[in-house]
Structure 1
Amino acid sequence: MFYLQAFSHSLLHALKNLFPIIAVVVFFQLLILQQIPENIFVMAAGLLIVAVGVALFLQGLELSIFPVGKSLSNQFARKGSVPVLLSFGFAMGFSAVVAEPALIAVAQQAEEISEGKIKALTLRILVAVSVGLVVALGVFRTIFGYPLQWLMIIGYIVVVIITWFAPPEIVGLAYDSGGVTTNIVTVPLIAALGIGLAASIRGRNPLLDGFGLVALAVMVPMITVQLYGIVVYSGAPADPVALPTEAQTGTVDQTPVLLGMLLDLAGMVRDVLPIIITILFFQYLVLRRGLTNPRKILFGFALVVLGLYAFVVGLKLGLFPIGTSMARQLMGMEGYIFVYLFAFMIGFATTMAEPALIAIGHQAEQAAAGTINGNAIRLIVAVGVAMGITLGVHRIISGDSIHHYIIGGYILVIVLTALAPRYIIPLAYDLGGVTTSEVTVPLVTALGIGLASSIEGRNVLIDGFGLIAFASIFPIVTVMSYAIIVEMLAKQRKTDP
C-alpha cells in the first residue's frame, strides 16, 4: 500500500513536470503550424507512458540506487582504504558510461558521418575510461577536501587551449561526448556516491564536497576526445562530409514493433547491468558483506529498468515523431525566427521534465537543509539550456566557427567560477551535466543534424554536433550568475539601514 501511494504521488508529480512539453507542442501545432497531428492519440498515450516511466524510475531510485550508493560510500569510508575507494570510483564511472545509450548513438553517428575515421567503439571506450578516471579523481578530492573550483578552472583552461588546436571536425563531437556521459541512471548514482562519501567523512560538507563528480565526468572526456581527434585528423585534410541519410539519422526504422520493444527493454537491462555487477562485486567480494534487504533493492532495480523502458517507449511514441515533424516544417518556413523560438521553448520544456534534474535538485535541497529551492534551481537551469540551444542553433544557421563560441563560453564559466559563492560551484557544474540525458540528447542532436543537413554549405560533422555542448555550458552560467546576484542582494540588505 505504501509503494502504491508513493507511486501515485510520483505519477502526479511526473504529469505536472510534463506539462511544459505539452504546452510547447500545442502552441506550435495550433498557433504556428496550424495543424493537428494525425496520430494525436498515440502521442497522448506516449506522454502518459513517459509519466508512468518517470514515476517508476524515481521510486526505483529511492529503493535501490540511492541507498546502495550511499551505503557503499559509507562502508568504504569507514574501511579507510583509499585504493579501494578509488577503484570503486573508477569501476562505477566506467560501468555506468560504457553502455550509455546516448553515447552509443552519438558515437555511431560520428563514425557514419566521418566515414569511419572516428571509430565508435574506440570513442566509447575512451569516454568510459575518462569518466572512470575522473570519478576516481573526484573521490580523491572529496577524501582530502581539495576545493572543486580550482580543479574546474584548471581543467577548463586546458579544455580551451586544446580546443584552439583541435581540428574542427572533432570539437563539436568532443563537447557532445562530454555532455552525453550523464544520464538518468549515472547522474543519481554518481551524485549519491559523492554525497554519501562526503556525509561519512568528518569535516566534509555534503553540499560543498558531495557534488562535483558529475561536473568532472563531463569535463575530462572533452579533453581526451579532442586529443583523439588531433591524432585521427593529424596531417589529413578535411574531407567533405556527406549528408546523413534518413537511415543514418534514425528517422526510418524498419524494425518490427514487438521486436523493437524487446530490444529496447534489453537495452535498459544492459544499461543498468554494469552498475549492478559493480555494486555486487564490491559489496560481496571486496567488503564481503551482504546487502541489507536485498529483495527491496532488487525490486527497486526492477522498477528502474521498467521505468527507463517506459520512459524511452513513451518518448518514441509521444515526443520524437511530433518533434521531428515540427522541426522539418519550421525549417521550411520563411526565415528562422520560428526555429529559434522552437529551440528555446523545446530546450526549456525538455529540461523542466528531465528526471535526472528532478532527482539531483531534490538531493541538493536535502543536502543544503532547505537553503536551496529545488524548483527554483530547475527553472534557472531550464532557462540556461534554452539560451544555450538557441545560441547553438544560431551558430549553425550563421555558419560561425564553434571554436569561438565554445572558448568564449568557457572563459565566461571560468570567470564566474572565480566570482561565485563557493557553496554553489559544485552544484552548478553538476547541473550543467544533468541537462543532457535521455530527454534532451535525442531531440537536440536531431535538431542540430537536421539543421546542418538542410542549410547549404554546412558540414554535418563540423556543424551538426555541438548543440549538447551549448546545453551544458549555459546552465552553469545561469546558476552561478543567480548565486552571485542573490549574494549581492543579501549583502546589500544587510548594509541598508
Structure 2
Amino acid sequence: MPSQVKDLVHALLHALRNLLPIIIVVVGFQALLLREWPEGGLGMAIGLGIVAVGVALFLQGLELSIFPVGKRLANQFARRGSMPLLMAFGFAIGFSAVVAEPALIAVAEQAYEISDGRIDALTLRLIVAGSVGLVMALGVFRVILGHPLHWYMIVGYILVVTVTFFAPEEIVGLAYDSGGVTTNIVTVPLIAALGIGLASSIRGRNPLLDGFGLVALAVMVPMISVQLYGILVYADPGEVTNGAALVAAGSDTEAPSGLVTMILDLFGMLRDVLPIILVILFFQYAVIRRPLASPLKVGVGFALVIVGLYAFVVGLKLGLFPIGQRMAEQLIGFDTWLWVYLFAFAIGFATTMAEPALIAVGQQAEEAAAGKIQGNVIRILVAVGVAIGITIGVHRIISGDSIHHYIISGYVLVIALTALAPRYIVALAFDLGGVTTSEVTVPLVTALGIGLASQIDGRNVLIDGFGLIAFASIFPIVTVMSYAILMERVAHWREKQP
C-alpha cells in the first residue's frame, strides 16, 4: 500500500508539472499585460487542481489495471506468433485506449453542444476509436511485412485532402482535431512500444525505419472517417447553429444537482470505460483462457480510472475551458491582434516542451537512431512547429478564411516534404506530429479557439472554433522534416569540401 500511495503522489506531481507551463503563460499575461485578476479566478484555480487530481487518479488506475493486463496479453500473443491474433489485439487495444480518452471526451462534448446535438458525442468517439483500432491492426500488418511507411502516408494524406475538398465546412476543423486528440501520454507510449517491439523482434526490421509510424496512422485515419461522418450528418440541409449562444447559455440549463448529478456522471464514466473492460475480459477469458492474476487490484484500478475521468471532466468545466475562453475575451479587447498571436505562440511552445509523451518518443528515437538524432533537438523542433501551427490557426479564425485552404495547403506541403526527406526521419516526423496534444493542452487550445470564434463578429463557432489542434499536428511534421532535409544537404556539402 505505501508504494501505491507513493505512485499516486508521483502521478499527481507529474500532472501538476504538465499544468505548470500553462499556469506560467496565463499568469504572465495576466500580471504583465492585463494587470488584473481574472473574473472567477479562484474557481479556475480550483478547477486546475481538480484536473491534476483527476489525471493522477486516471494514470494510477491505468498502472493498476489496463497496462499490466495489456502487457501480459501482448507477451502471450507474441509467443504464439499468430498474425491474426496480433492484429485483433492491436485493434482491441487501439479502440479501447481511445474511446475513453479524456481529451476526446472533452472535444466530443464541445462538438455536441455547439452543433445543437447534430453531432452525437458518443458516435463521434466510437468512430474515432474504431478508426484507431483499424490503424493499429494495419500498422501491425505493415511492420510484420516490412512495407515502407512513406507510401502509406502519401496515399493516406492524398485521400485526406480529397475528402476534405468534399466535406462540409462544419466538420473539417472538428475532424482534424479529432485526429489530433487520439494520441496522448497513455496511448503514445503504448502504441510506440508495440511498433518498436515488433520491429525489434523481427529479423531484417529496423526499429527507427519500421518501428515508428503507428502514431502517425492513428492521427491520419480518424480525419478521414470523421469527415465522412460529417458528409452524412450534413447531407440533409438544415440550419447550422452558430453555437455562441449555446456556449454562453450552457450554464443556464436546468439539471439535477448534488449527489444525484454526481452519481449519474459516474455512471456515464463507467459507460466510457466499459469497452476497455470488455476487451480485456474477452481476450483474457475467451482467447487466452486464463484468469486475471490480481482481480482485486485490477478492479481497484478500473475504479480509479472512472473516478479520475469524472474529476478530470469536472475540472475542465471549472478550470481549463473558462481560462481559454476568458483569455480570448480579454486579449480581443486590445487595439491590436499582436497579443493574441503572442499568447497562441507562447501556449503552443511552453506546453509542448513539457509534454511527457513527446519526451518519451524523443528518448525512444534517440536510442533507436544510435546517435543520429538528439532528443532535445527534436523537442525544440516540435515545440516550434506547434507554436507556429497554433499561431497560424489563430490567424485563420481572426481573418475568417476557410479552413479547407489552410489544411489542404498544409498537407500538400507535408506530402512534398515526405518525398524529399531522408527515409530515416519520415516515420518519426509523422509520429511527432501526433504527440503534441495531451489531455491538458487539448481542452485549453480548444477553448481558446471556441472563445475567439464566439467573440469575433461574423464567425461561426462550429466552423471556425475547431481546427487549432489540427494545425498543432501539421507543422511539427514540417519543422522536423525540413530540419532533416537541411542537415542532409549540409552533410553532403561538407563531404564535397576538400
Contact 2:150 / 2:418 at 8 angstroms: preserved in 1? yes
Q: Matched residue of 1:245: which SS?
A: helix
- Shift of the 5–180 alpha-carbon distance from structure 1 to 2, 3 Å rule, reads closer
Q: What is the RMSD computed on CA atoms of the aligned residues?
A: 3.6
Query: Residue in 2 aligned with 1:157?
Result: 158
Moved more, 215-224 or 298-307: 298-307
Shift of 1:416: 1.3
Q: Distance in 2 between matches of 1:198 and 1:433?
A: 20
Kindly provide the CA deviation profile for residues 308-358 of structure 1, in whole angstroms up to 9, marking residues without a partner as x: 677666666654443332221112222322111111111222323334334
TM-score normalised to structure 2 length = 0.85
Q: Matched residue of 2:358: which SS?
A: helix
Q: Distance in 2 between matches of 1:370 and 1:4?
A: 38
Contact 2:116 / 2:243 at 8 angstroms: preserved in 1? no
Query: Residue in 2 aligned with 1:128?
Result: 129
Query: Residue in 2 aligned with 1:426?
Result: 427
Contact 1:77 / 1:201 at 8 angstroms: preserved in 2? no
Query: Residue in 1 aligned with 2:217?
Result: 216
Shift of 1:216: 1.1
Q: Matched residue of 2:175: which SS?
A: helix
Kindly provide the CA deviation profile for residues 56-92 of structure 1, in whole angstroms up to 9, marking residues without a partner as x: 7667767765565455434323312222122112222
Q: Distance in 2 between matches of 1:27 and 1:321?
A: 17
Moved more, 180-189 or 49-58: 49-58
Q: Matched residue of 1:476: which SS?
A: helix
Q: Distance in 2 between matches of 1:107 and 1:315?
A: 13
Q: Distance in 2 between matches of 1:65 and 1:490?
A: 45
Query: Residue in 2 aligned with 1:417?
Result: 418
- Shift of the 485–292 alpha-carbon distance from structure 1 to 2, 3 Å rule, reads farther
Q: Matched residue of 1:35: which SS?
A: coil
Q: Which amino acid aligns with 1:123?
A: L
Moved more, 335-344 or 195-204: 195-204
Q: Which amino acid aligns with 2:244?
A: P
Shift of 1:461: 2.2
Kindly provide the CA deviation profile for residues 398-428 of structure 1, in whole angstroms up to 9, marking residues without a partner as x: 1111111000000111111122222222222
Q: Which amino acid aligns with 2:245?
A: T
Query: Residue in 2 aligned with 1:243?
Result: 243
Query: Residue in 2 aligned with 1:36?
Result: 37
TM-score normalised to structure 1 length = 0.85
Q: Distance in 1 between matches of 2:414 and 2:471?
A: 12
Q: Which amino acid aligns with 1:184?
A: I
Query: Residue in 2 aligned with 1:144?
Result: 145
Contact 1:73 / 1:196 at 8 angstroms: preserved in 2? no
Contact 2:326 / 2:451 at 8 angstroms: preserved in 1? no
Contact 1:70 / 1:193 at 8 angstroms: preserved in 2? no
- Shift of the 379–53 alpha-carbon distance from structure 1 to 2, 3 Å rule, reads farther
After the TM superposition, which residues 8-87 of structure 1 pair with which residues of structure 2 at under 5 Å, given as runs?
18-37=19-38, 69-87=70-88
Q: Distance in 2 between matches of 1:78 and 1:472?
A: 36
Moved more, 63-72 or 436-445: 63-72
Q: Distance in 1 between matches of 2:363 and 2:66?
A: 15
Contact 1:112 / 1:248 at 8 angstroms: preserved in 2? no
Q: Which amino acid aligns with 2:437?
A: T
Q: Distance in 1 between matches of 2:400 and 2:44?
A: 34
Moved more, 148-157 or 341-350: 341-350
Q: Distance in 2 between matches of 1:394 and 1:302?
A: 43
- Shift of the 349–165 alpha-carbon distance from structure 1 to 2, 3 Å rule, reads same
Moved more, 332-341 or 180-189: 180-189
Contact 1:15 / 1:51 at 8 angstroms: preserved in 2? yes
Shift of 1:55: 6.6
Query: Residue in 2 aligned with 1:481?
Result: 482
Contact 1:249 / 1:446 at 8 angstroms: preserved in 2? no
After the TM superposition, which residues 160-175 of structure 1 pair with which residues of structure 2 at under 5 Å, given as runs?
160-175=161-176
Query: Residue in 2 aligned with 1:442?
Result: 443
Q: How many residues align?
A: 496
After the TM superposition, which residues 18-417 of structure 1 pair with which residues of structure 2 at under 5 Å, given as runs?
18-37=19-38, 69-234=70-235, 236-237=236-237, 239-245=239-245, 272-289=273-290, 319-368=320-369, 371-417=372-418
Q: Which amino acid aligns with 1:333?
A: F
Contact 1:453 / 1:460 at 8 angstroms: preserved in 2? yes
Moved more, 407-416 or 239-248: 239-248
Structure 2: state its 5+ residue gaps.
none
Kindly provide the CA deviation profile for residues 70-127 of structure 1, in whole angstroms up to 9, marking residues without a partner as x: 5543432331222212211222222222333433443344344344443444333322
Q: Distance in 2 between matches of 1:26 and 1:314?
A: 18
Moved more, 100-109 or 337-346: 100-109
Q: Which amino acid aligns with 1:473?
A: I
Contact 2:324 / 2:445 at 8 angstroms: preserved in 1? no
- Shift of the 265–112 alpha-carbon distance from structure 1 to 2, 3 Å rule, reads closer
Shift of 1:175: 1.5
Q: Distance in 2 between matches of 1:30 and 1:68?
A: 47
Q: Distance in 1 between matches of 2:109 and 2:289?
A: 39
Aligned-pair identity (%): 73
Contact 1:74 / 1:197 at 8 angstroms: preserved in 2? no
- Shift of the 167–19 alpha-carbon distance from structure 1 to 2, 3 Å rule, reads closer
